[in-house]
Amino acid sequence: MSHDATAPMLSPMTTSSSQTRSKVPAIILLLAAIIAGGAIGWWILGSSDAPSSTYSWAPPNGLEPKRAFGYLEKICEFGPRPSGTPAIEKLQTYLIEHFKSIGTTVETQEFEVRHPLDGSPVTMKNIIVRIAPELKRRVLICTHYDTRPFPDYDPVNPQGVFIGANDGASGPALFQEIAPQLMKMDLKVGVDLIMFDGEELIFENDGTKGEYFLGSKHFATRYVSDPKDFTYEAGILVDMIADKELQLYYERNSYDFARNLVRDVWSIAAKMKIREFVARTRHTVRDDHLPLNEIARIPTIDIIDFDYPRPSTRGQKYWHTEQDIPENCSGESICKVGAVLLEWIKGLK
Ligand SMILES: [Zn+2]
Protein backbone atom coordinates (compact mmCIF):
# COMPACT_ATOMS: atom_id res chain seq x y z
CA MET A 1 0.00 0.00 0.00
CA SER A 2 0.98 3.58 -0.26
CA HIS A 3 0.74 6.83 1.58
CA ASP A 4 -2.24 8.84 2.58
CA ALA A 5 -3.01 11.33 -0.17
CA THR A 6 -3.02 14.12 2.36
CA ALA A 7 0.23 13.11 4.10
CA PRO A 8 3.68 14.30 3.10
CA MET A 9 5.40 12.12 0.47
CA LEU A 10 8.24 11.37 2.81
CA SER A 11 6.30 8.61 4.44
CA PRO A 12 5.15 5.99 1.91
CA MET A 13 1.91 4.97 3.03
CA THR A 14 0.87 6.36 6.08
CA THR A 15 -1.96 7.17 7.78
CA SER A 16 -2.47 9.69 10.45
CA SER A 17 0.16 12.40 10.40
CA SER A 18 1.14 11.57 13.96
CA GLN A 19 2.93 8.55 12.58
CA THR A 20 5.15 10.10 9.95
CA ARG A 21 8.90 9.90 10.24
CA SER A 22 9.15 13.57 11.04
CA LYS A 23 7.77 12.74 14.46
CA VAL A 24 10.64 10.45 15.40
CA PRO A 25 12.21 12.83 17.93
CA ALA A 26 8.83 13.09 19.63
CA ILE A 27 8.61 9.33 19.74
CA ILE A 28 12.03 9.07 21.37
CA LEU A 29 10.96 11.63 23.94
CA LEU A 30 7.79 9.72 24.57
CA LEU A 31 9.70 6.47 25.04
CA ALA A 32 12.09 8.16 27.43
CA ALA A 33 9.11 9.46 29.36
CA ILE A 34 7.58 5.99 29.46
CA ILE A 35 10.79 4.41 30.74
CA ALA A 36 11.13 7.15 33.34
CA GLY A 37 7.48 7.00 34.17
CA GLY A 38 7.26 3.32 35.12
CA ALA A 39 3.66 2.67 36.05
CA ILE A 40 2.49 5.66 34.04
CA GLY A 41 4.18 4.17 31.00
CA TRP A 42 2.25 0.99 31.53
CA TRP A 43 -0.92 2.94 31.60
CA ILE A 44 -0.12 4.58 28.27
CA LEU A 45 0.72 1.27 26.61
CA GLY A 46 -2.28 -0.39 28.12
CA SER A 47 -4.76 2.21 26.94
CA SER A 48 -8.11 1.40 25.35
CA ASP A 49 -6.41 0.58 22.03
CA ALA A 50 -4.67 -2.42 23.55
CA PRO A 51 -5.08 -5.64 21.57
CA SER A 52 -7.98 -7.84 22.54
CA SER A 53 -6.80 -11.11 21.07
CA THR A 54 -6.45 -12.78 24.43
CA TYR A 55 -10.05 -14.01 24.66
CA SER A 56 -10.70 -17.61 23.76
CA TRP A 57 -12.15 -18.15 20.34
CA ALA A 58 -13.28 -21.31 18.59
CA PRO A 59 -12.73 -21.06 14.84
CA PRO A 60 -15.94 -21.83 12.91
CA ASN A 61 -16.41 -23.35 9.44
CA GLY A 62 -13.53 -25.83 9.65
CA LEU A 63 -10.86 -23.13 9.81
CA GLU A 64 -7.66 -24.19 11.56
CA PRO A 65 -5.19 -21.58 12.83
CA LYS A 66 -2.28 -24.02 12.88
CA ARG A 67 -2.76 -24.97 9.28
CA ALA A 68 -3.20 -21.32 8.23
CA PHE A 69 0.03 -20.41 10.02
CA GLY A 70 1.75 -23.32 8.28
CA TYR A 71 0.76 -21.84 4.91
CA LEU A 72 2.21 -18.48 5.94
CA GLU A 73 5.46 -20.10 7.05
CA LYS A 74 5.72 -22.10 3.86
CA ILE A 75 5.33 -18.95 1.73
CA CYS A 76 8.01 -17.20 3.78
CA GLU A 77 10.37 -20.12 3.21
CA PHE A 78 10.66 -18.98 -0.41
CA GLY A 79 12.62 -16.03 0.99
CA PRO A 80 12.22 -12.40 -0.14
CA ARG A 81 9.78 -12.41 -3.07
CA PRO A 82 9.93 -9.16 -5.03
CA SER A 83 8.30 -9.14 -8.48
CA GLY A 84 10.40 -10.68 -11.25
CA THR A 85 12.75 -12.65 -8.99
CA PRO A 86 13.36 -16.42 -9.12
CA ALA A 87 11.83 -16.65 -5.62
CA ILE A 88 8.48 -15.21 -6.69
CA GLU A 89 8.48 -17.47 -9.75
CA LYS A 90 8.83 -20.47 -7.44
CA LEU A 91 6.03 -19.12 -5.26
CA GLN A 92 3.82 -18.67 -8.34
CA THR A 93 4.33 -22.31 -9.28
CA TYR A 94 3.62 -23.41 -5.72
CA LEU A 95 0.43 -21.36 -5.40
CA ILE A 96 -0.92 -22.32 -8.83
CA GLU A 97 -0.26 -26.01 -8.19
CA HIS A 98 -1.74 -25.79 -4.70
CA PHE A 99 -5.00 -24.24 -5.84
CA LYS A 100 -5.29 -26.61 -8.80
CA SER A 101 -4.68 -29.59 -6.53
CA ILE A 102 -7.68 -28.71 -4.36
CA GLY A 103 -9.89 -28.53 -7.45
CA THR A 104 -10.30 -24.82 -8.10
CA THR A 105 -10.03 -23.23 -11.54
CA VAL A 106 -6.86 -21.14 -11.73
CA GLU A 107 -6.27 -18.43 -14.31
CA THR A 108 -3.28 -16.14 -14.65
CA GLN A 109 -2.91 -12.69 -16.10
CA GLU A 110 0.59 -11.91 -17.33
CA PHE A 111 2.00 -8.56 -18.32
CA GLU A 112 5.35 -6.88 -18.55
CA VAL A 113 6.72 -3.76 -16.92
CA ARG A 114 10.13 -2.08 -16.91
CA HIS A 115 12.25 -2.61 -13.84
CA PRO A 116 12.36 0.71 -11.96
CA LEU A 117 16.15 0.57 -11.49
CA ASP A 118 17.57 -0.60 -14.83
CA GLY A 119 14.66 -0.68 -17.24
CA SER A 120 14.94 -4.41 -17.90
CA PRO A 121 11.67 -6.25 -18.56
CA VAL A 122 9.90 -7.76 -15.56
CA THR A 123 7.12 -10.28 -16.09
CA MET A 124 4.22 -9.82 -13.69
CA LYS A 125 1.60 -12.43 -12.98
CA ASN A 126 -1.78 -11.98 -11.32
CA ILE A 127 -3.20 -15.29 -10.13
CA ILE A 128 -6.98 -15.72 -10.14
CA VAL A 129 -8.55 -18.64 -8.27
CA ARG A 130 -12.16 -19.09 -9.40
CA ILE A 131 -14.68 -20.79 -7.17
CA ALA A 132 -18.02 -21.72 -8.74
CA PRO A 133 -16.85 -20.19 -12.05
CA GLU A 134 -20.19 -21.00 -13.67
CA LEU A 135 -22.00 -18.40 -11.58
CA LYS A 136 -22.46 -15.07 -13.33
CA ARG A 137 -23.06 -13.08 -10.18
CA ARG A 138 -19.63 -12.74 -8.59
CA VAL A 139 -17.59 -11.04 -5.89
CA LEU A 140 -13.84 -10.87 -5.53
CA ILE A 141 -11.48 -11.13 -2.60
CA CYS A 142 -7.98 -9.95 -3.35
CA THR A 143 -4.54 -9.53 -1.86
CA HIS A 144 -0.95 -9.07 -3.02
CA TYR A 145 1.69 -11.79 -2.92
CA ASP A 146 4.87 -9.93 -3.90
CA THR A 147 7.15 -8.47 -1.25
CA ARG A 148 8.86 -5.10 -1.07
CA PRO A 149 12.49 -5.38 -2.23
CA PHE A 150 13.99 -4.01 1.00
CA PRO A 151 12.91 -3.38 4.62
CA ASP A 152 13.49 0.32 4.02
CA TYR A 153 11.85 1.35 7.31
CA ASP A 154 14.11 -0.86 9.37
CA PRO A 155 15.92 1.39 11.84
CA VAL A 156 19.00 -0.85 11.86
CA ASN A 157 19.22 -2.50 8.46
CA PRO A 158 17.13 -0.78 5.77
CA GLN A 159 18.97 -2.68 3.01
CA GLY A 160 18.52 -5.99 4.82
CA VAL A 161 16.25 -8.97 4.28
CA PHE A 162 12.51 -8.38 3.97
CA ILE A 163 10.46 -11.54 4.50
CA GLY A 164 6.99 -10.00 4.39
CA ALA A 165 5.22 -12.53 6.61
CA ASN A 166 2.35 -10.15 7.25
CA ASP A 167 2.90 -7.84 4.25
CA GLY A 168 2.94 -10.36 1.41
CA ALA A 169 2.38 -13.86 2.82
CA SER A 170 -0.70 -13.37 5.00
CA GLY A 171 -3.13 -12.83 2.10
CA PRO A 172 -2.27 -15.93 0.04
CA ALA A 173 -2.15 -17.99 3.27
CA LEU A 174 -5.67 -16.81 4.09
CA PHE A 175 -6.81 -17.82 0.59
CA GLN A 176 -5.29 -21.27 1.03
CA GLU A 177 -7.17 -21.61 4.30
CA ILE A 178 -10.60 -20.45 3.09
CA ALA A 179 -10.67 -21.89 -0.45
CA PRO A 180 -11.57 -25.46 0.61
CA GLN A 181 -14.31 -24.10 2.89
CA LEU A 182 -15.72 -21.97 0.06
CA MET A 183 -15.78 -25.01 -2.19
CA LYS A 184 -17.97 -26.84 0.30
CA MET A 185 -20.50 -24.01 0.51
CA ASP A 186 -23.69 -23.80 -1.51
CA LEU A 187 -22.75 -20.49 -3.12
CA LYS A 188 -25.36 -18.17 -4.59
CA VAL A 189 -22.65 -15.80 -5.76
CA GLY A 190 -19.35 -16.97 -7.28
CA VAL A 191 -16.08 -15.97 -5.62
CA ASP A 192 -12.75 -15.13 -7.25
CA LEU A 193 -9.68 -15.07 -5.02
CA ILE A 194 -7.21 -12.79 -6.76
CA MET A 195 -3.52 -12.52 -5.88
CA PHE A 196 -1.90 -9.42 -7.34
CA ASP A 197 1.73 -9.17 -8.32
CA GLY A 198 3.60 -5.86 -8.24
CA GLU A 199 1.91 -4.16 -5.31
CA GLU A 200 5.18 -2.66 -4.21
CA LEU A 201 8.14 -3.01 -6.52
CA ILE A 202 9.34 0.15 -4.85
CA PHE A 203 12.94 1.20 -4.34
CA GLU A 204 12.34 4.85 -3.47
CA ASN A 205 9.28 6.32 -1.85
CA ASP A 206 9.38 9.58 -3.76
CA GLY A 207 7.86 7.95 -6.84
CA THR A 208 11.09 8.03 -8.88
CA LYS A 209 11.98 4.37 -8.42
CA GLY A 210 8.88 2.28 -8.71
CA GLU A 211 5.13 2.50 -8.97
CA TYR A 212 2.60 1.02 -6.59
CA PHE A 213 -0.29 -1.32 -7.47
CA LEU A 214 0.94 -2.56 -10.87
CA GLY A 215 -1.00 -5.82 -10.60
CA SER A 216 -4.30 -4.33 -9.48
CA LYS A 217 -4.03 -1.51 -12.03
CA HIS A 218 -3.50 -4.04 -14.80
CA PHE A 219 -6.39 -6.17 -13.56
CA ALA A 220 -8.74 -3.19 -13.31
CA THR A 221 -7.79 -1.88 -16.74
CA ARG A 222 -8.34 -5.29 -18.36
CA TYR A 223 -11.67 -5.65 -16.56
CA VAL A 224 -12.82 -2.50 -18.35
CA SER A 225 -11.17 -3.12 -21.73
CA ASP A 226 -11.98 -6.86 -22.07
CA PRO A 227 -15.38 -7.33 -20.45
CA LYS A 228 -16.32 -10.89 -19.49
CA ASP A 229 -19.81 -12.38 -19.28
CA PHE A 230 -19.97 -11.53 -15.60
CA THR A 231 -19.38 -8.53 -13.38
CA TYR A 232 -18.11 -8.25 -9.85
CA GLU A 233 -20.71 -6.86 -7.49
CA ALA A 234 -18.23 -6.09 -4.73
CA GLY A 235 -14.65 -6.62 -3.67
CA ILE A 236 -12.70 -7.04 -0.45
CA LEU A 237 -8.95 -6.54 -0.29
CA VAL A 238 -7.02 -8.14 2.56
CA ASP A 239 -3.54 -6.92 3.44
CA MET A 240 -1.48 -7.42 6.61
CA ILE A 241 -4.12 -9.50 8.37
CA ALA A 242 -1.86 -11.91 10.27
CA ASP A 243 -0.55 -9.54 12.95
CA LYS A 244 -0.37 -11.41 16.25
CA GLU A 245 -1.94 -8.35 17.82
CA LEU A 246 -4.64 -7.89 15.24
CA GLN A 247 -6.64 -4.65 15.22
CA LEU A 248 -8.76 -3.88 12.16
CA TYR A 249 -10.27 -0.43 11.90
CA TYR A 250 -12.40 1.06 9.15
CA GLU A 251 -10.05 2.36 6.45
CA ARG A 252 -11.09 5.80 5.25
CA ASN A 253 -10.79 5.32 1.48
CA SER A 254 -12.88 2.16 1.80
CA TYR A 255 -15.44 4.06 3.81
CA ASP A 256 -15.65 6.74 1.12
CA PHE A 257 -15.97 4.29 -1.77
CA ALA A 258 -18.08 1.54 -0.24
CA ARG A 259 -19.44 2.58 3.13
CA ASN A 260 -22.24 0.00 3.25
CA LEU A 261 -19.85 -2.85 2.60
CA VAL A 262 -17.52 -1.62 5.37
CA ARG A 263 -20.43 -1.47 7.79
CA ASP A 264 -21.74 -4.90 6.72
CA VAL A 265 -18.39 -6.60 7.22
CA TRP A 266 -17.70 -5.02 10.60
CA SER A 267 -21.23 -5.78 11.82
CA ILE A 268 -20.80 -9.42 10.79
CA ALA A 269 -17.60 -9.46 12.88
CA ALA A 270 -19.47 -7.91 15.82
CA LYS A 271 -22.21 -10.56 15.59
CA MET A 272 -19.49 -13.23 15.56
CA LYS A 273 -17.88 -11.55 18.59
CA ILE A 274 -14.60 -11.15 16.73
CA ARG A 275 -13.36 -8.13 18.65
CA GLU A 276 -10.34 -7.38 16.48
CA PHE A 277 -12.67 -5.61 14.07
CA VAL A 278 -13.04 -2.16 15.60
CA ALA A 279 -15.93 -0.21 14.09
CA ARG A 280 -14.34 3.20 13.72
CA THR A 281 -12.03 4.83 11.22
CA ARG A 282 -8.34 5.16 12.01
CA HIS A 283 -6.09 5.17 8.93
CA THR A 284 -6.25 6.30 5.34
CA VAL A 285 -4.38 3.80 3.24
CA ARG A 286 -3.62 3.83 -0.46
CA ASP A 287 -3.69 0.20 -1.50
CA ASP A 288 -4.76 -2.20 -4.25
CA HIS A 289 -8.43 -1.36 -3.62
CA LEU A 290 -8.03 2.08 -5.22
CA PRO A 291 -7.59 0.91 -8.86
CA LEU A 292 -10.54 -1.45 -8.37
CA ASN A 293 -12.74 1.43 -7.25
CA GLU A 294 -11.37 4.13 -9.52
CA ILE A 295 -10.69 2.21 -12.75
CA ALA A 296 -12.89 -0.90 -12.57
CA ARG A 297 -15.68 0.76 -10.55
CA ILE A 298 -16.00 -2.32 -8.37
CA PRO A 299 -16.94 -1.17 -4.84
CA THR A 300 -13.99 -2.58 -2.92
CA ILE A 301 -12.88 -2.19 0.68
CA ASP A 302 -9.54 -2.82 2.37
CA ILE A 303 -9.29 -4.94 5.50
CA ILE A 304 -5.85 -3.99 6.77
CA ASP A 305 -4.10 -3.88 10.12
CA PHE A 306 -1.90 -0.90 9.62
CA ASP A 307 -0.75 -0.85 13.25
CA TYR A 308 1.83 -3.62 13.30
CA PRO A 309 2.27 -4.53 16.09
CA ARG A 310 -0.33 -2.37 17.87
CA PRO A 311 -1.71 1.15 17.98
CA SER A 312 -0.20 2.20 21.28
CA THR A 313 3.42 1.25 20.60
CA ARG A 314 4.41 4.41 18.86
CA GLY A 315 8.12 3.71 18.77
CA GLN A 316 7.99 0.13 17.57
CA LYS A 317 6.91 -0.89 14.07
CA TYR A 318 7.34 -4.09 12.15
CA TRP A 319 5.91 -2.70 8.93
CA HIS A 320 8.59 -2.65 6.17
CA THR A 321 11.25 -3.82 8.62
CA GLU A 322 13.20 -7.01 9.19
CA GLN A 323 10.72 -7.78 11.97
CA ASP A 324 7.93 -8.65 9.52
CA ILE A 325 8.50 -12.36 10.18
CA PRO A 326 6.28 -15.36 11.05
CA GLU A 327 7.08 -14.99 14.78
CA ASN A 328 5.10 -11.73 14.78
CA CYS A 329 2.13 -13.30 13.01
CA SER A 330 -0.66 -15.63 14.09
CA GLY A 331 -2.77 -18.28 12.42
CA GLU A 332 -5.66 -17.30 14.67
CA SER A 333 -5.59 -13.77 13.23
CA ILE A 334 -5.72 -15.20 9.70
CA CYS A 335 -8.67 -17.39 10.66
CA LYS A 336 -10.57 -14.56 12.34
CA VAL A 337 -10.50 -12.59 9.10
CA GLY A 338 -11.29 -15.78 7.17
CA ALA A 339 -14.29 -16.49 9.38
CA VAL A 340 -15.74 -13.03 8.75
CA LEU A 341 -15.17 -13.34 4.99
CA LEU A 342 -16.90 -16.75 4.86
CA GLU A 343 -19.84 -15.39 6.82
CA TRP A 344 -20.10 -12.40 4.47
CA ILE A 345 -20.12 -14.71 1.45
CA LYS A 346 -22.71 -16.97 3.09
CA GLY A 347 -24.98 -13.99 3.50
CA LEU A 348 -24.82 -12.87 -0.15
CA LYS A 349 -28.19 -13.37 -1.77
ZN1 LIG B 1 4.23 -3.12 2.12
Residue 204 confidence (pLDDT): 86
Domains of the chain: 16-45 (no CATH), 58-346 (3.40.630.10)
Residue 289 Cα to ligand 1 midpoint, Å, equals 14
Model confidence at 47, in pLDDT bands (50, 70, 90)? very low
Pairwise CA distance, residues 190 & 291, whole Å: 21
Q: Using an 8 Å Cβ cutoff, are 144 and 288 in contact?
A: yes
Q: How far is the CA of 199 from the centre of ligand 1 (A)?
A: 8
Task: Report pLDDT for 83.
Answer: 98
pLDDT score of 61: 85
Structure confidence at residue 315 (pLDDT): 66
Compute, in angstroms, the gap from residue 136 CA to the centroid of ligand 1: 33
In this structure, the strands spanning 137-144 and 231-239 are parallel
Give the Å distance between the CA of 160 and the centre of ligand 1: 15
By three-state DSSP, how is residue 52 classified? Answer: coil
Please name the helix (run of DSSP H) or strand (run of DSSP E) that holds residue 194, with its range, or none: strand 190-196
| pLDDT at residue 296, rounded to an integer | 98
Compute the average pLDDT of residues 78-92.
Answer: 98
The DSSP output letter for 63 is -
What is the Å distance from ligand 1's center to 286 Cα? 11
Residue 65 CB neighbours (<10 A): 18
Alpha-carbon distance of 188 to 14, in angstroms, equals 37
**Residue range 329-338: average pLDDT?**
98
Residue 8 and residue 237: Cα distance in Å, rounded? 25
What is the b/e burial string over 214-235, where b = at least 16 CB atoms within 10 angstroms of the residue's CB? bbbbbbbebbeeeeeeeebebb
